[in-house]
Amino acid sequence: MRKIPVTMATQHPDNAFPSIFSGERFVTARDEIEECYKCFFELGVDEYMWDWEGKLVDEAVIDRLYQKYYDTFQKTALGKDKFLTFRIPNIWEEPSYRLPRAFMNLLSAEQAAKSMNFHTPPLFEIILPMTTRADQLTYLHESFEKIARATSEIFETKSELQHINIIPLFEQAETMAESGKILEEYVQFLEKARGQIPEYLRVFIARSDPAMNAGLIPCMLAVKSALSSYHEFGKSRGIEIYPWIGGGSLPFRGGINPHNVQPSIEEYKGASSITIQSAFRFDYPLDEVKRAIAQYNVQLPQKRHQYTVLTVEEQKAIQEFNTKAIPIFQHTIEEIADIINAVADKMPNHRERVQHVGIFGYSRGVGKVKLPRAIKFCGSLYSLGVPPEFIATGRVLKLAEEMGMLPLVKKLYVNIKADLLHAGHYLNWENLSLLTKMNPAWKEIEKDIHFVSEVLELNLEPVECHHLLHRNFTSNIFQKINISEDITEDILRAAEIRRSLG
């Protein structure tokens, strides 16, 4: 059995401070070569995501790594000891012209490794973002095999890489509920195509986008439901399942950061891999970052079989609850989208992106709401002093109480009190009061926060000096928006205090 990576460094641009490798907040595509190497050999991560989805990439990554660090990769094999994994473009959401380039990159990497007598193949897995159907996975599988065969015939090369492992990334709570069926269909395809079921599957569970599309509590319930169903599916089919949690530093996006290692390991019991995003790496002291990564590498796999097993009745109850809870969040977001977008437009970009097609869009009969990506969505609300963790959460907890779901919510969302208390320290009550006078939707959010405070017995306000400083910067942001002054510097200062852009 191959080594399953535990920690994966990603290129998510959620850092507030400059990169510890380049000294700049903005990380260019060329900088990412050096970043990849140092994440492997200085920070101790097992895997690095080479992200083709919505961003520019250096397509000579293997050549540059092998030529610059030849001696290192002679001793530590890429594809065996350390892993570089492509997140490919989703051709059902953005133009398809970049996908063939990613596939050819995988094939040429194998030839580069062979020419240097390195382990082959160095690259053999891809991540499909925004997976919603099994036929997307089968299409990619068959397309790669066609390209691999054609390449071998045209260039008269022998390749061991005739097929690739495809890792589905489920990014919507509604899709997670159906993901067991998607996996079953895909396994049936692989069984027919290869004559046997796969030995293992890696399955990627997003934390940011489901929260942005469904709200904090429905997202967490969907994640726990998915972890249980994936492992139970694996048992029924005799397949080892290695779930993966992709999240950021702030509670809304996952709560995965160097100061929250043990709680997050407990929260995501059942997961085998976890993402180490830019804020995790750059916004905390280096010694704490290294120590936290080492802890994840050792302790997370020990919890893989300790996930909470959900009964059929509990799974059904979660789906029914989420069906009612998610629209509460979505309706509220639709009502406040204008100011979210206004603040997000002023937030800095820290990676080289191309135009991205967002997945947040739902109809209320007239038009659709368009929102920024999850980092800027989260960051814009923190910048206003109203963390997104609270939006609709009070009403959702009230719904849980009415449906008799509150005990299950508290059981499954292990860190619910700690996460909401953390977010509560960054509340700006004055800003919220002013927002309620501008738009009645904010009045409902104010009620949400009071109900959360009451039900969970939490004191939701700034407590320490850095919380008060954050409040002051968010006051500056709100007032400057009203007089059309630049807010960029205040956004960055507030982000540095909370140790994440969003």
Nearest alpha carbon to residue 122 among 133, 135, 110, 140 = 110
Is the CB of residue 376 less than 8 Å from the CB of residue 502?
A: yes
Rounded CA-CA distance 409/222 in Å is 11
3-state DSSP of 144-155: HHHHHHHHHHHH
The amino acid sitting at 489 is E
By three-state DSSP, how is residue 351 classified? Answer: strand
Split into its structural domains, the chain has a count of 1
pLDDT at 118 over 60: yes
Flag whether 338 is in a domain.
yes
Say what the pLDDT of residue 364 is: 29
Nearest alpha carbon to residue 423 among 467, 472, 489 = 467
Structure pTM? 0.94
Flag whether 172 is in a domain.
no
413-447: buried (b, 16+ CB within 10 Å) or exposed (e) per residue? bbbbeebbbbbbbbbbeebbebbbeeeebbebbbe
Local confidence band at 156 (pLDDT 50, 70, 90 cut-offs)? confident
368 sits in which H/E element: none
Rounded CA-CA distance 457/449 in Å is 11
pLDDT per residue as tens digits for the range 410-433: 999 999 999 999 999 999 999 999
Say what the pLDDT of residue 362 is: 30
Radius of gyration of the chain (CA): 22
Flag whether 141 is in a domain.
no
CA dihedral 339, 340, 342, 344 (to 10 degrees): 160
Say what the pLDDT of residue 355 is: 52
pLDDT per residue as tens digits for the range 339-378: 999 999 999 999 987 654 444 433 322 236 889 999 999 9
Least confident among 174-183, 331-340, 456-465, 478-487: 174-183
Q: Please list, in sequence order, all residues whose beta carbon lies within 8 angstroms of the beta carbon of residue 427, skipping any fewer than 6 positions away.
A: 385, 386, 387, 390, 449, 460, 461, 462, 471
Flag whether 415 is in a domain.
yes
The two tokens of residue 357 are 């097609």
Nearest alpha carbon to residue 501 among 48, 51, 18 = 18
Say what the pLDDT of residue 97 is: 82
CA atoms within 13 A on the CB side of 26: 6
Say what the pLDDT of residue 368 is: 64
238-276: buried (b, 16+ CB within 10 Å) or exposed (e) per residue? ebbbbbbbbbbbbbbbbbbbbebbeebbebbbbbbbbbb
Instruction: Work out the average pLDDT over 268-284.
Output: 98
Instruction: Work out the average pLDDT over 166-183.
Output: 92
pLDDT per residue as tens digits for the range 175-233: 988 899 999 999 999 999 888 899 999 999 999 999 999 999 999 999 999 999 999 99
Flag whether 416 is in a domain.
yes
- What string of DSSP letters covers 423-453? HHTT--HHHHHHHHHH-HHHHHHHHHHHHHH
Flag whether 170 is in a domain.
no
Range of the domain at 360: 312-498
CB count within 10 Å of CB 196 equals 8
Flag whether 391 is in a domain.
yes
pLDDT at 143 over 50: yes
Flag whether 407 is in a domain.
yes
- What string of DSSP letters covers 278-331? HHHHHSS-HHHHHHHHHHHHHHTGGGTT-PPPPPHHHHHHHHHHHHHHHHHHHH
pLDDT per residue as tens digits for the range 3-49: 999 999 999 999 999 999 999 999 999 999 999 999 999 999 999 99
Mean residue pLDDT across the chain = 94
Rounded CA-CA distance 290/36 in Å is 15
